[in-house]
Amino acid sequence: MDVICHTIPVTEPSDHTGAQLDHLVRRGWTPEGGQDSILPNHATRWLSARTGLVETSTPVAPDSALVVGEPRLPDGVRDALAAVVGTEHVLLGRDDRLGRAGGMSYVDLMRHRGTGDLAVPDAVVVPADPEQVQRVVELCAEHRIGLVPFGGGTSVVGGVTASAGDLGAVVVLDLCRLDRLVSVDPVSRLAVLQAGVTAPDAERMLAAHGLTLGHFPQSFERATIGGFAATRSSGQASAGYGRFEDMVEGLRLATPRGEWRLGVSPASAAGPDLRHLVVGSEGAFGVLTEVTLRVRQRPTVRRYEGHVLDGWTAGTAAVRALAQAGVLADVTRLSDPHETDLAFALSGGWKTALVRRYLRARGVADPCLLVLGWEATSAAELAARRRASLRVLRSARPVTLGTVIGEKWRHGRFHGPRQRDALLDAGVCVETLETATYWSNLDALRSAVRAALVDVLATDGRRPVVACHVSHAYETGASLYFTVLVPRDLDDPLGQWGRAKAAACAAITATGGTISHHHAVGVDHAPYLPAEIGPLGVDVLGAVKRELDPSGVLNPGKLLG
């Protein structure tokens, strides 16, 4: 593989290298030789009993079995790209291209395991800076070559699928060399970060200034600043730090029509807020190269604790009360009884058994785990905020499990994707999906999605687990995040999940939820977008797309289908 990502950032070097990145994408989330990717025996036993899982070791096709066509990039275009970024940053090798072939959805990972067809880019271009990105964008527009912006490659909705659409070839634009903290304004608490900076690198570089971004989605370990903005990401501490869109103050976008910069003040009435048109545009309007972000003082104290509420209705009422009283913990996460049960089952061990027994003794019929986490710059501030939360929570009569459960959650907060790798190895069809709605519609939405998933997946003796949690609460409503586990249909794994996902999306649309609260649209949700924003909404997005990307080369097939 060609060596990439060797530019020296102004402030601090980043950990990742191109080599790491490639093989990570190829094999799933877990790094080569990484931990946490083996399913414990008790979990396998539980899954077999609970879901009817039979095959617990499923074959992965060897690399060589994956069909990778010859690059279709015309020589002239390759040379022109090389003239911009350097020959060594136009990657045509099989591994390089496979390494950026799609994202991290179940379907993407199954394709990398040899199931179905994998869309592999014709080349990977790795620009050094915003100026090079701009020239690459213009070149692709000129030659009508599809261009897929690529950060951490963590999309679970087909957002980085290397589809050429009706174009002759498609190039992945890997932004990993745009890894700099460009500037910090400590007075205004602003930081300009390049789009390819990963979340851990962003936190490390900001920490040197005593600052934090506070954006901790489950994709934290791999995802990038540009990806967060392009997809309207929301982190686990969204109640404290806001959604990513709340942090975005300014944007620098490379479009086929030239550079576009937005953002001069924290708020404005100078017409529509066009930043909100770029945030969430998923590379269809341009390639983000820099994002100006509101940052905060780095917390020095934290406390994460677990509580159990009895039943989903009591649980969501409590979270709603916290949200509407303005006293949500920074992390506020409520699992439904199915997810609580799943968490206990996968944890296993005598401690979990003790907790279950304790809850029964306390008369909790339908345990719903509530994790609350506060982070602050002083113990007094944390104590005051915690007191305010617990005062409101009291009326829900929580059974308090203390900080052990809370800290356990915090330590494992980014492990979900690794655990999924292990489940994939064990023959499980495992995927997540999410939505959001207003409080008065939340129960109906959860029931509808759950019923749709169970109905489609409970075939041939399979007994699906459909677990759900609220991880993002607002004054007017909340998100719902579903985790699905079911024995894989080894004869038709993609069809099995495809039917379930379609049923869930139809249920979401029919029940009035959003088709995505924080995973974005990508390819997978594009058919459902018109129901949410109306035909006029689609026409408006189309008009913006035609204005900025007249030749239609940017991220073909995403957002607008």
Whichever of 41 and 265 has its CB closer to a second copy, that residue is 265
Please, which residues have CB within 8 angstroms of residue 383's CB and are 6 or more apart in sequence? none
Binding-site member from 515, 523, 553, 554 for a second copy (CB under 8 A): 515
Whichever of 446 and 525 has its CB closer to a second copy, that residue is 525
Helices (H), 55-209: 75-85, 94-99, 106-112, 130-143, 199-207
273-332 positions binding a second copy, by CB under 8 A: 273-282, 294, 296-297, 320, 324
Dihedral angle sign, alpha carbons of residues 229, 552, 154, 453: positive
527-556 positions binding a second copy, by CB under 8 A: 529, 532-534, 536-537, 539-544, 546-548
107-146 positions binding a second copy, by CB under 8 A: none
Which helix (H) or strand (E) segment is 24 a member of?
A: helix 18-27
71 is in an annotated binding site: no
Whichever of 428 and 478 has its CB closer to a second copy, that residue is 478
481 assigned to active site: yes
Q: How deeply is 265 buried, as exposed, middle or buried, from its count of CB atoms within 10 A (0-12, 13-18, 19+)? A: exposed
Whichever of 19 and 260 has its CB closer to a second copy, that residue is 260
475-504 positions binding a second copy, by CB under 8 A: 475-479
155 is in an annotated binding site: yes
326 is in an annotated binding site: no
From 16-24, 92-100, 225-233, 403-411, span contacting a second copy (CB under 8 A) = 225-233
The reply on whether position 8 binds a second copy by CB under 8 A is no
Min dist. Cβ of residue 192 to a second copy (A):
12
29-68 positions binding a second copy, by CB under 8 A: none
- DSSP tag of 473: B
DSSP string covering 246-261: HHEEEEEEEETTEEEE
Min dist. Cβ of residue 315 to a second copy (A):
15
Closest CA to 553 of 215, 163, 79: 163
153 is in an annotated binding site: yes
The reply on whether position 394 binds a second copy by CB under 8 A is no
Dihedral angle sign, alpha carbons of residues 301, 306, 307, 312: positive
The reply on whether position 269 binds a second copy by CB under 8 A is yes
Instruction: Draw the binding track, 249-268, toward a second copy (x: CB under 8 A; -: no contact).
Output: x-----x-xx-xxx-xxxxx
Which helix (H) or strand (E) segment is 318 a member of?
A: helix 312-324
321-380 positions binding a second copy, by CB under 8 A: 324
232 is in an annotated binding site: yes
149 is in an annotated binding site: yes
N- to C-terminal Cα separation, the chain = 33
Whichever of 387 and 411 has its CB closer to a second copy, that residue is 387
447 is in an annotated binding site: no
Residue 356 neighbours by CB distance under 10 Å: 15
Min dist. Cβ of residue 284 to a second copy (A):
9
Residue 16 neighbours by CB distance under 10 Å: 18
427-446 positions binding a second copy, by CB under 8 A: 435-441
Please, which residues have CB within 8 angstroms of residue 238's CB and are 6 or more apart in sequence? 471, 472
Q: Are 480 and 468 in contact (CB under 8 A)?
A: yes
Q: Are 37 and 422 in contact (CB under 8 A)?
A: yes
Please pick, among 106, 241, 304, 481, the residue that the annotation labels catalytic: 481
Give the interface size with a second copy as a residue count (CB under 8 A).
Answer: 85
164-193 positions binding a second copy, by CB under 8 A: 185, 187-190
44 is in an annotated binding site: no
Residues 256, 259, 263: CA angle, nearest 5 degrees? 135
> Exposure pattern of 317-335 as b/e (b: 16+ CB <10 Å)?
ebbbebbeeebbbbbbbbb
Whichever of 12 and 532 has its CB closer to a second copy, that residue is 532
Min dist. Cβ of residue 187 to a second copy (A):
4
Whichever of 67 and 267 has its CB closer to a second copy, that residue is 267
404-423 positions binding a second copy, by CB under 8 A: none
- DSSP tag of 478: E
Instruction: Draw the binding track, 451-480, toward a second copy (x: CB under 8 A; -: no contact).
Output: ---------------------x-xxxxxx-
Whichever of 47 and 478 has its CB closer to a second copy, that residue is 478
Q: How deeply is 355 buried, as exposed, middle or buried, from its count of CB atoms within 10 A (0-12, 13-18, 19+)? A: buried
Q: In 3-state terms, what secondary structure has residue 94?
A: helix
Min dist. Cβ of residue 253 to a second copy (A):
8
56 is in an annotated binding site: no
The reply on whether position 521 binds a second copy by CB under 8 A is yes
Which helix (H) or strand (E) segment is 537 a member of?
A: helix 529-548
Q: Which residues make up each annotated binding site?
A: 149-155, 231-234, 420
Q: Write out the binding residues for substrate.
A: 420
Which residues are documented as binding site for FAD?
149-155, 231-234
Residues annotated as catalytic are 481
